[in-house]
């Protein structure tokens, strides 16, 4: 049997210890005892497994993980990463971030994460399906998947297609289980998914950026004017999170001046058309050569260092380190990816007069809408289905009454916009926007209230630690 190649260098990563370092720093601003803090910080269950798949005339052994970081809430929740570089440390770190992320946006889940060590590009569709289904079976065998225990979702390298295979495998193994479709989120709409999930993380990133720049007092401190309009943005990664972040930021009035992919970066101070770049990459296989770019760079890293106001790393961790942070020209980093900035780089960026909107909050739009999808699956009815028409009739009655009292009539467009009931997409987007806005102000309030807290990340951690601590205290310890 051939063994799936192991990127030895990736075994020496320290992503989990970086997350713990941030946790420990924030913990000093809380009043919990050391034992409780230790319980919050630890990864409760780390399941490492290997399984064979057929490849050509032989077999290949696949390395895989599922980590459930915290059981203070059930189920646990977190995406599955398909990457050749994935390793145990990374999955543990990402699972821990999920715990804090859910707490920050008040989603009642514990944190989890999965990893499959493959480069999806090296496998046929059938092989990918076999890997995904076998991965699901391995999780089911050990009780690491179910709507009430642990609910995966997409992450780097996976999407709706993989989530469909997981849902189908789980449902097949659990015939008659009414809530089976709630075993995974990020499914296509036709397979019990929810409107707005695909773009939710990117939409959330854009709302996070908009909220951050809307506060005049904070913007003046870093030498920027308030408001997103005209702000120059560079985005790294044109996948699910990066593409949608760029799209919504442009929709909110920002100018996308730079895009970075793993093959290189492009820049135009007058703005890039994100859809045109996306199409160009689809056809040619690269963002390089895009006719609307004024400058090209051979590496993604060089792209990060170009002039802009806001940088959105939305690819992978460890992109902004002590080695390049001094050359980053952005004043604000909004972390679309998980862990793109190392703790030491963050300190330098703040010292240089910048703000970082941390991953645990900035990319929480995905898990927020996953929560809505899970609720939809458990209630077996689409949001808006029961009340949309009722709302429209009630609103129409109110408008009719106002028209008859005032003797004035609304024109058809005004009338339609007032009486309209919310569709599933509108309700999801409204819930997402509300969550992102409230959570930003919750974090900022902690940041302002505790004088010694010097970053939004520490403030976010403090809020998350306090919420998880309350859950653990309420649960008690048994036996």
Least Å distance, CB 409 to ligand NAD, is 46
Q: Identify which of 74, 230, 249, 50 has the alpha carbon closest to the alpha carbon of residue 150.
A: 74
Binding to ligand NAD (CB under 6 A) within 321-350 occurs at: 336-338
Q: Is 200 helix (H, G, I), strand (E, B) or coil?
A: helix
Q: CB-wise, 239 or 421, nearer to ligand NAD? A: 239
Least Å distance, CB 262 to ligand NAD, is 4
- Backbone CA torsion sign across 347, 349, 350, 352: positive
Tell me how long the chain is.
Answer: 479
Q: How many residues bind ligand NAD (CB under 6 A)?
A: 25
Least Å distance, CB 369 to ligand NAD, is 9
Least Å distance, CB 138 to ligand NAD, is 21
Binding to ligand NAD (CB under 6 A) within 79-138 occurs at: 79
Among 105, 166, 250, 260, binds ligand NAD (CB under 6 A): 260
459/396 Cα distance (integer angstroms): 45
Contact 22, 460 (CB under 8 A): no
H runs (alpha helix) in 356-455: 359-362, 365-379, 388-406, 412-419, 424-449
Phi/psi at 54 (5° precision) = -80, 135
Least Å distance, CB 83 to ligand NAD, is 8
Is 287 an interacting residue with respect to ligand NAD (CB under 6 A)?
no
Residues 6+ apart with CB under 8 A from 58: 1, 2
Q: CB-wise, 73 or 201, nearer to ligand NAD? A: 201
Among 262, 278, 350, 472, binds ligand NAD (CB under 6 A): 262
224/356 Cα distance (integer angstroms): 14
Q: Match 């189920």 to its residue by tokens.
A: 75
Binding to ligand NAD (CB under 6 A) within 364-403 occurs at: 366
Phi/psi at 137 (5° precision) = -60, -40
C-alpha torsion 379→381→385→390, nearest 10: -40
Among 136, 300, 342, 446, binds ligand NAD (CB under 6 A): 300
Among 76, 240, 368, 446, binds ligand NAD (CB under 6 A): 240
Q: CB-wise, 167 or 419, nearer to ligand NAD? A: 167
Least Å distance, CB 279 to ligand NAD, is 14
Q: CB-wise, 102 or 181, nearer to ligand NAD? A: 102
Half-sphere exposure of 175 (CA within 13 A, CB side): 0
210/364 Cα distance (integer angstroms): 15
Q: CB-wise, 27 or 303, nearer to ligand NAD? A: 303
Half-sphere exposure of 204 (CA within 13 A, CB side): 37
Q: CB-wise, 241 or 274, nearer to ligand NAD? A: 241
Is 184 an interacting residue with respect to ligand NAD (CB under 6 A)?
no
Is 113 among the catalytic positions? yes
Residues 6+ apart with CB under 8 A from 197: 185, 186, 366, 369, 370, 372, 373, 428
Is 315 an interacting residue with respect to ligand NAD (CB under 6 A)?
yes
Among 16, 65, 156, 267, binds ligand NAD (CB under 6 A): 156
Among 155, 168, 211, 218, binds ligand NAD (CB under 6 A): 155
Among 111, 115, 147, 154, binds ligand NAD (CB under 6 A): 154
Residues 6+ apart with CB under 8 A from 206: 244, 245, 247, 248, 249, 251, 252
Query: Which of 113, 187, 231, 331 is labelled catalytic?
Result: 113
Residue showing the smallest CB distance to ligand NAD in the complex: 239
- Backbone CA torsion sign across 135, 141, 144, 148: positive
Residues 6+ apart with CB under 8 A from 443: 104, 361, 456, 459, 460, 463
Is 278 an interacting residue with respect to ligand NAD (CB under 6 A)?
no
Least Å distance, CB 336 to ligand NAD, is 6
Is 261 an interacting residue with respect to ligand NAD (CB under 6 A)?
yes
Least Å distance, CB 74 to ligand NAD, is 21
426/217 Cα distance (integer angstroms): 31
Least Å distance, CB 89 to ligand NAD, is 14
Q: CB-wise, 336 or 419, nearer to ligand NAD? A: 336
Among 75, 114, 147, 237, binds ligand NAD (CB under 6 A): 237
Q: CB-wise, 127 or 261, nearer to ligand NAD? A: 261
Contact 431, 372 (CB under 8 A): yes
User: Which stretches of the chain bind ligand NAD, using CB under 6 A?
Assistant: 79, 154-157, 201, 236-242, 260-262, 300, 314-316, 336-338, 363, 366
Positions marked catalytic? 113
């Amino acid at each position: 049997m051939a063994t799936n190649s192991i990127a030895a260098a990736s075994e020496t990563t320290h992503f989990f210890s970086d997350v713990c370092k941030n946790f420990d720093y924030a913990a000093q601003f809380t009043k919990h005892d050391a034992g409780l803090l230790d319980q919050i910080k630890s990864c409760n269950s780390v399941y490492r497994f290997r399984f064979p798949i057929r490849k050509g005339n032989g077999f290949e052994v696949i390395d895989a993980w599922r980590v459930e970081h915290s059981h203070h809430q059930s189920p646990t929740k977190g995406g599955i990463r398909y990457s050749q570089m994935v390793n145990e440390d990374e999955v543990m770190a990402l699972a821990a971030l999920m715990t804090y992320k859910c707490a920050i946006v008040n989603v009642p889940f514990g944190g989890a994460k999965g990893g499959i060590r493959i480069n999806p590009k090296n496998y046929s569709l059938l092989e990918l399906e076999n890997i995904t289904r076998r991965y699901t079976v391995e999780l089911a065998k050990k009780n690491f998947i179910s709507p009430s225990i642990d609910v995966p979702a997409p992450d780097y390298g996976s999407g709706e297609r993989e989530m469909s295979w997981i849902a189908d495998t789980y449902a097949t193994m659990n015939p008659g289980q009414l809530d089976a479709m709630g075993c995974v989120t990020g499914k296509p709409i036709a397979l019990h998914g929810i409107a707005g999930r695909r773009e939710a993380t990117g939409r959330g990133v854009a709302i996070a950026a908009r909220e951050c720049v809307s506060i005049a007092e904070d913007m003046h401190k870093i030498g920027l004017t308030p408001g997103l309009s005209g702000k120059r943005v560079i985005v790294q990664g044109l996948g699910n999170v990066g593409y949608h972040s760029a799209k919504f930021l442009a929709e909110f009035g920002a100018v996308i001046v730079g895009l970075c992919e793993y093959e290189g970066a492009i820049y135009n101070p007058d703005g890039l058309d994100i859809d045109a770049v996306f199409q160009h990459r689809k056809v040619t296989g690269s963002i390089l050569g895009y006719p609307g770019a004024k400058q090209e760079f051979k590496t993604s890293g060089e792209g990060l260092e170009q002039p802009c106001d806001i940088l959105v790393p939305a690819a992978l961790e460890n992109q902004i380190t002590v080695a390049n942070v001094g050359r980053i020209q952005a004043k604000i980093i909004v972390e679309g990816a998980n862990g793109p900035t190392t703790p030491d780089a963050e300190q330098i960026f703040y010292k240089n007069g910048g703000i970082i909107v941390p991953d645990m909050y900035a990319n929480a739009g995905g898990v927020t809408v996953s929560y809505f999808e899970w609720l939809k699956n458990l209630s077996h009815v689409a949001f808006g289905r029961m009340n949309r028409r009722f709302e429209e009739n009630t609103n129409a009655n109110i408008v009719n009454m106002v028209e008859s009292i005032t003797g004035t009539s609304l024109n058809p467009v005004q009338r339609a916009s007032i009486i309209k009931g919310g569709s599933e997409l509108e309700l999801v987007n409204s819930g997402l926007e509300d969550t992102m806005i409230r959570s930003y102000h919750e974090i900022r309030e902690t940041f302002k209230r505790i004088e010694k807290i010097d970053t939004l990340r520490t403030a976010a951690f403090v809020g998350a630690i306090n919420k998880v601590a309350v859950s653990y205290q309420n649960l008690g310890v048994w036996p």
